[in-house]
Amino acid sequence: MPSNGRADLQFYYSERSTKLKPLKIVIILPTFNEAENLPKIVPAILANQIPDLKILIVDDSSPDGTGEIADELAIKYPGQIEVMHRMGKAGLGRAYIAGFNHVLNSDVEIIGQMDSDFSHPPERLPEMIEMLKDADLVLGSRYIQGGGIDEQWPIWRKGLSRWGNFYARSILGIPVKDVTGAYRLWRREFLEKIPFQEVVSNGYIFLVEILHLANINGARFGEVPIYFADRKWGESKMNFRIQREAALRVWQVRWHYRNAKRKSKNE
């Protein structure tokens, strides 16, 4: 990496050396009651100055006015922000499926997923893009060397997150360390191969199920270490009940795909 701490984004140019044209990237930001975070996270993402990067905000009619703030941001950053307004809270999984369907209708080449509450450091994006050179799907990972979770987290939440990850990846046999994180970059041609419309889970298990699908479809994974900060603004919805339900649903996911065989890269 160059001395400014950013990946050199060689990837943009290496695959298309004759054209020197940047790859088209869309980062999908799902929002529900993120009025305080959204106006800060958008400029933080754009500050990477990644050429041809756009943001798609998918808001589920947040009662705190996040949707209107998103529209204002689209005016403030013309051509860089798109907003999708959905009727009522339908969960993280549905928001991502709607976002994926929407961006795949365009000529996007890299599709990103990121929380809008600063848990996912936007400054890691260039490094993640760089890693996509040799991967189909790159994950921001808390559980590889160099990664970590917020020191402020209560011990029970730290323990549950770490254990939950180990549990899910062992049951499903997914060869990455962080299966529940939502900071991800996909190559278009790989995401298109995944029947993500058929993903049955919503909420947090959506993230695990789609990763399992990716693995079954022969994904080449990459992981970039991230430090996962707790949300600074807004209220946390995570609790023990959600985690316990997720633990049971991992078995459902395994059962659902019990007959699927892992494909090799070119199948």
Interface with Mg ion by CB under 5 A: which range of 89-97, 115-123, 124-132, 203-211? Answer: 115-123
Q: Residues 119, 141, 180, 201: which binds Mg ion (CB under 5 A)? A: 119
Phi and psi for 241 in degrees, rounded to 5? -60, -45
Residue 32 binds which of Mg ion, ligand GTP, none (CB < 5-8 A, kind-dependent): ligand GTP
Pull the structure tokens for residue 98: 């709607």
Footprint on residues 108-167 left by ligand GTP (CB under 6 A)? 115-117, 119
Interface with ligand GTP by CB under 6 A: which range of 4-12, 85-93, 158-166, 219-227? Answer: 85-93
Footprint on residues 200-259 left by ligand GTP (CB under 6 A)? 231, 236-238
> Which of 117/136 has CB closer to Mg ion?
117
Distance between CA atoms of residues 214 and 208, nearest Å: 10
Q: Residues 24, 40, 89, 102: which binds ligand GTP (CB under 6 A)? A: 89
Pairing of strands 53-59, 81-85: parallel
Residue 223 binds which of Mg ion, ligand GTP, none (CB < 5-8 A, kind-dependent): none
If one asks whether residue 91 binds ligand GTP (CB under 6 A), the answer comes out as yes
Q: Residues 117, 130, 136, 178: which binds Mg ion (CB under 5 A)? A: 117
Q: Which value, in Å, is the radius of gyration of the alpha carbons in the chain?
A: 18
State the nearest-atom distance from the C-beta of 37 to ligand GTP, in Å: 7
> Which of 116/141 has CB closer to ligand GTP?
116
> Which of 30/99 has CB closer to Mg ion?
30
Q: Residues 231, 246, 250, 253: which binds Mg ion (CB under 5 A)? A: 231
- Residue where the block lists tokens 């940047």: 22
If one asks whether residue 92 binds ligand GTP (CB under 6 A), the answer comes out as yes
For ligand GTP (CB under 6 A), the number of binding residues is 20
Residue 211: how many other CB atoms lie within 10 Å: 26
State the nearest-atom distance from the C-beta of 117 to Mg ion, in Å: 4
State the nearest-atom distance from the C-beta of 238 to ligand GTP, in Å: 4
With CA atoms as reference, report the closest residue to 70 among 58, 87, 88, 79.
58
Interacting residue ranges for ligand GTP, rule: CB under 6 A: 30-32, 34, 58-60, 89-92, 95, 115-117, 119, 231, 236-238
Residues in contact with Mg ion by the rule CB under 5 A: 115, 117, 119, 231
